[in-house]
């Protein structure tokens, strides 16, 4: 009983300390708040879960561009597998010219920008969410290709938070 009480108190102290430290701009405790949002996500595939965990580890190691790329990849995997969940039947209704029969073929033939627009037409997202996704894609592209964009800690936390919120929103909708 005594040990359980000590462990409970230590965990309570750590959680409270992170909440206090998280208000300071460069405090690593701010990633703990992302961890809490991350824990709210449900039904992630093993791949999506691992990609998001790697993105969080990148933040801890100050690899901010890599964190952007990994988080985006997890989001796109969720979107693509959602669209493929009915063997692309609903997608083919809004994009009849797209010849997609497999997830790998879909990923090779259709750009992420086009996939986002198709999500809007399928009512998986609305117009404003589509614009947010296009903006997140633009930042991912800046990180994935040679550019003068070097996101800092705060920008990366914001980007990951936006990705996690978008994942949660998509998980709560169905096509």
Q: Are 163 and 72 in contact (CB under 8 A)?
A: yes
What does residue 152 show for φ and ψ, rounded to 5 degrees?
Answer: -95, -175
Supply the CATH number for residue 139's domain: 1.20.120.330
Confirm whether 6 is domain-assigned: no
User: What does pLDDT average to over the chain?
Assistant: 86
Q: Are 64 and 151 in contact (CB under 8 A)?
A: yes
Q: What is the reported pLDDT for 25?
A: 47
How does pLDDT run across 89-118, given as a tens digit for each residue?
999 999 999 999 899 999 999 999 999 999
Domain count for the chain: 1
Whether 10 shows a pLDDT value over 60: the answer reads yes
Q: In whole angstroms, what is the distance from residue 123 CA to residue 101 CA?
A: 21
Whether 135 shows a pLDDT value over 80: the answer reads yes
Confirm whether 12 is domain-assigned: no
Return contacts of 41-44, CB within 8 angstroms, 24+ apart. 41/164, 41/167, 41/168, 41/171, 42/171, 43/171, 44/74, 44/78, 44/167
Give this prediction's pTM: 0.79
122: closest CA among 81, 86, 93?
A: 93
Confirm whether 9 is domain-assigned: no
Biggest distance spanned by C-alpha atoms of the chain = 67
CA 61 to centroid of chain Cα atoms: 18
Q: What is the reported pLDDT for 148?
A: 95
- Looking at per-residue pLDDT, the higher value among 139 and 35 belongs to 139
Whether 48 shows a pLDDT value over 80: the answer reads yes
- Looking at per-residue pLDDT, the higher value among 115 and 174 belongs to 115
Beta-carbon neighbour count of residue 45 at 10 Å? 12
Q: In whole angstroms, what is the distance from residue 92 CA to residue 83 CA?
A: 10
- Looking at per-residue pLDDT, the higher value among 125 and 15 belongs to 125
Boundaries of domain holding 116: 40-171
Confirm whether 144 is domain-assigned: yes
């Amino acid at each position: 009983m005594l040990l359980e009480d000590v462990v409970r108190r230590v965990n309570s102290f750590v959680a409270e300390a992170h909440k206090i430290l998280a208000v300071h701009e460069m405090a690593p405790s701010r990633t703990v708040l992302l961890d809490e949002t991350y824990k709210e996500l449900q039904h992630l595939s093993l791949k999506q879960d691992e990609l998001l965990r790697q993105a969080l580890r990148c933040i801890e190691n100050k690899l901010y561009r890599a964190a952007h790329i990994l988080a985006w990849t997890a989001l796109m995997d969720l979107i693509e597998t959602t669209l493929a969940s009915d063997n692309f039947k609903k997608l083919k209704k809004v994009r009849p010219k797209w010849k997609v029969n497999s997830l790998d073929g879909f990923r090779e033939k259709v750009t992420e920008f086009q996939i986002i627009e198709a999500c809007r037409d399928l009512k998986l997202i609305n117009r404003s969410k589509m614009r947010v996704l296009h903006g997140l894609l633009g930042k991912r592209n800046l990180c994935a290709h040679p550019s003068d964009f070097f996101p800092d800690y705060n920008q990366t936390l914001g980007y990951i938070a936006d990705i996690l919120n978008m994942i949660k929103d998509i998980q709560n909708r169905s096509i």
